[in-house]
Amino acid sequence: MPLLNVFVNNLLPILLLSGAGFALGKALKLDSRPLGRVIFYILSPVLVFNLLTSSKLAVESIILMMGYSTSVMLIVAGIAFVLGKLFHLERSSLTAVVLTSMFANNGNYGLPLIAFAFGQEALAYASIYFVTNSLLLYTVGVMIASLGHLPLKEALLGLLKVPAIYAIILAVIFIRTGWILPAPIQKTVELTAGGAVPAMLILLGLELQKVEWTNNLRALSIPVVCRLLIGPFIGWTLAALFGLNGNARKDGIIDAGISSAVMTTVLANEFKLDSSLVTAIVFVSTILSPLTLTPLIYLLGR
């Protein structure tokens, strides 16, 4: 069966390694924060730099992909906001719904999935989507979570704390100038980048062990539908409008349908949103995602 083959070869390895992280976290009561910081400050930016410099994407292609991913996220967030208003959700729940609909797990989940589905060469565009998602999360996401109480200047300064943005800037400089890293440093970069994806999957499992449940099923259903069903539809439509093709199109559509970002649970705790609702959304959207991503990968791979 084609769909079963797609699931076994692309999604099952991700679920197994994430499941190992989940089980290890439960058994040893591991804290995910140290690993999360290693990934955020070292592994992710090195991975982004390595992907962009090795692919030698044109700067115009990078800008186009950032515009596409931003458009997808804003449109999906807008749809979630309208649905939340129609369901008469209270402010805290509505904020949680918008956050978990807008931001996907494009790092921990999206990068390894695209690597398995379309090969390492497809990861360059996925890394741009991932970085764009991170930049918006630490600016727009923080402002949404704070319900407008955080000064714009403070939110913008948060950009300076996102290492991946420096990785993009540095990669663009290397692409434009044709510079090449000395062999020992290049080998270090490749070695570090190679450990990023497995570490991200283990972190995903560690984060999912924190799940809490919620009785607000109306609020729970909106982000799950937005991320897994509406997201790919919006991504597919915008890919045509932006003129994306090849790996850029495949990466963009898959990333548009990835489950909700685990980082939204951090924002929920920080800004006193409905944390049980947010963690439940992340968990349910992740568990159900193979049902939608499997046929999506099959269609894009034909």
For residue 156, name the pLDDT band (cuts at 50, 70, 90): low
Instruction: Report how far apart, in Å, the C-alpha atoms of 243 and of each of 67, 114, 238, 239 are.
Output: 12, 20, 8, 6
Question: Do residues 266 and 202 make contact, with C-beta atoms less than 8 angstroms apart?
Answer: no
Q: With a threshold of 0.75, does the pTM exceed it?
A: yes
Of residues 302 and 224, more confidently modeled: 224
Determine whether 286 is exposed, middle or buried from the number of CB atoms within 10 Å of its CB (0-12, 13-18, 19+). buried
Render pLDDT for 188-245 as a digit per residue (tens, 0 to 9). 999 998 888 888 888 888 888 877 777 788 899 999 999 999 999 999 999 999 999 9
What's residue 250's pLDDT?
94
256 band by pLDDT with thresholds 50, 70 and 90: very high
**Cβ distance 231 to 257 under 8 Å?**
yes
**Comparison of pLDDT for 226 and 4, the residue scoring more:** 226
Q: Each residue of 78-128: pLDDT tens digit? A: 999 999 999 999 888 898 999 999 999 988 889 889 988 888 778 889 988
* Ordered alpha helix ranges (H), 87-182: 91-102, 111-118, 123-136, 142-145, 152-157, 163-177
Look up tokens 């790996």; give the residue.
247
CA-CA distance, 198 to 201, in Å (whole number)?
5
Q: Which of the four pLDDT bands, split at 50, 70 and 90, describes residue 155?
A: low
2-296 is classed CATH 1.20.1530.20: yes
Task: In whole angstroms, give the CA distance from residue 266 to residue 141.
Answer: 11
pLDDT over threshold 90, residue 297: yes
